[in-house]
């Protein structure tokens, strides 16, 4: 394969801009006929595939377990780049909502589309509001809604895993949902933090086996944090070719 065409990152930026606006408008309108927000998730997958496809980004997904579409989960992933959001949309097999910062929901058109999709927004600056959001999210999880959390709270600047915030673990424990660890490699290379352009490349996503939270006592939260962090660290440290064969039943596919 030859060098990446110089215009391809610019092309992907144009696709991202116009497609984000167009699909956000469609998503907003879909809220008039679909109160569940599920149609917005289908549009989000289309959006993700088009943006990454235009940039020449290929996803390699490895799953260590078959997830039950009738159950709800809390997916926890490391965070390296904005590409992680599109990668998760395309690699996770069950419908899910991201827990996002409140400011995203206030962006005209795009934020309104997220609200139509029933994404969950949290105000990190307001402890009382954040606590109520966690309680509402736990209620929705018990009703069957899966969620995605980046427990580091922000993107890593150097690629190393940051300390995990504990709010997401409280959410998982209070709802009784299993935590599914997710490891992402390569997204920082195709779109570094602070960059507005996406470059061609390969992103590996590894979806681990669910980790139970039901029955974990309140004083066991720290141990649960360490268990999930250790599993993501382990998946990140294992070369992609080895990670797929290391676990019995692991499946590999391109997304």
pLDDT tens digits along 66-99:
899 889 999 999 999 999 999 999 999 899 999 8
- C-alpha–C-alpha distance, residues 32 and 12, integer Å: 30
* pLDDT at position 41 over 90: yes
Q: 247: which 2 tokens?
A: 């676990």
Q: What is the pLDDT of residue 108?
A: 92
- C-alpha–C-alpha distance, residues 206 and 181, integer Å: 8
Q: Picking from 125-129, 171-175, 184-188, which range would have the lowest pLDDT averaged per residue?
A: 125-129
* pLDDT at position 5 over 70: no
* pLDDT at position 244 over 70: no
């Amino acid at each position: 394969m030859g060098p990446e065409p110089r215009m391809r990152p610019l092309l992907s930026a144009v696709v991202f801009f116009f497609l984000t606006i167009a699909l956000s408008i469609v998503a907003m309108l879909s809220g008039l006929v679909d109160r569940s927000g599920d149609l917005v998730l289908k549009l989000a997958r289309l959006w993700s595939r088009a943006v990454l496809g235009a940039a020449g980004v290929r996803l390699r997904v490895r799953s260590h377990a078959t997830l039950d579409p009738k159950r709800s989960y809390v997916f926890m992933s490391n965070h390296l780049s904005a590409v992680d959001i599109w990668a998760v949309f395309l690699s996770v097999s069950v419908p899910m909502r991201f827990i996002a910062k409140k400011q995203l929901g206030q962006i005209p058109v795009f934020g309104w589309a997220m609200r139509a999709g029933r994404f969950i927004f949290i105000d990190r600056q307001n402890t009382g509001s954040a606590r109520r959001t966690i309680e509402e999210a736990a209620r929705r999880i018990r009703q069957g809604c899966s969620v995605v959390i980046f427990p580091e709270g922000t993107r890593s600047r150097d690629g190393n895993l940051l300390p995990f915030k504990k709010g997401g673990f409280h959410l998982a424990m209070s709802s009784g949902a299993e935590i599914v660890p997710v490891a992402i490699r390569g997204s920082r290379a195709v779109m570094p933090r602070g960059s507005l352009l996406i470059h061609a490349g390969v992103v590996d996503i590894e979806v681990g086996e669910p980790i139970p939270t039901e029955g974990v006592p309140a004083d066991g939260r720290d141990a649960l944090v360490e268990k999930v962090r250790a599993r993501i660290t382990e998946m990140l440290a294992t070369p992609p070719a080895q990670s797929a064969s290391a676990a019995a039943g692991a499946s590999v596919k391109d997304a």
